[in-house]
């Protein structure tokens, strides 16, 4: 999330994983706050982000 106090740490963690050869897909949702996964019923952008996350999980579990 763009307004997440842990955003920079998340980006740094993703970069370290990449450097270690781990496949990483990072998405930053600029208009959302930390905890947006609990706000899908109230914020349309959060709902879309949750749907995108669910799609990505489905693709990886049942390609």
Residue at 26 is within a domain? yes
pTM of the model as a whole: 0.75
Count up the domains in the chain and report the number: 1
Q: Domain range holding 49?
A: 7-61
> CA torsion 23→43→6→16, rounded to 10°?
10
Distance CA 59, CA 54 (A): 9
Q: Is 2 within a domain?
A: no
Instruction: Say if CB 1 and CB 29 are below 8 A apart.
Output: yes
Let me know if residue 1 belongs to a domain.
Answer: no
pLDDT value at position 15? 98
pLDDT for 25-60, tens place per residue? 999 988 889 999 899 999 999 999 999 999 999 998
63: pLDDT strictly greater than 80: no
Domain assignment present for residue 46? The answer is yes
pLDDT score of 16: 98
Instruction: Report the 10 Å Cβ neighbour count for 49.
Output: 20
Residue 56: predicted pLDDT: 92
pLDDT at 1: 86
Calpha distance 57→3 (Å, rounded): 24
Mean pLDDT of 6-34: 94
């Amino acid at each position: 999330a763009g307004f997440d106090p842990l955003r920079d740490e998340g980006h740094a963690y993703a970069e370290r994983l990449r450097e270690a050869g781990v496949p990483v897909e990072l998405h930053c949702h600029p208009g959302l706050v930390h905890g947006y996964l609990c706000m899908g019923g109230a914020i349309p952008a959060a709902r879309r982000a949750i749907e995108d996350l669910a799609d990505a999980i489905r693709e990886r579990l049942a390609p």
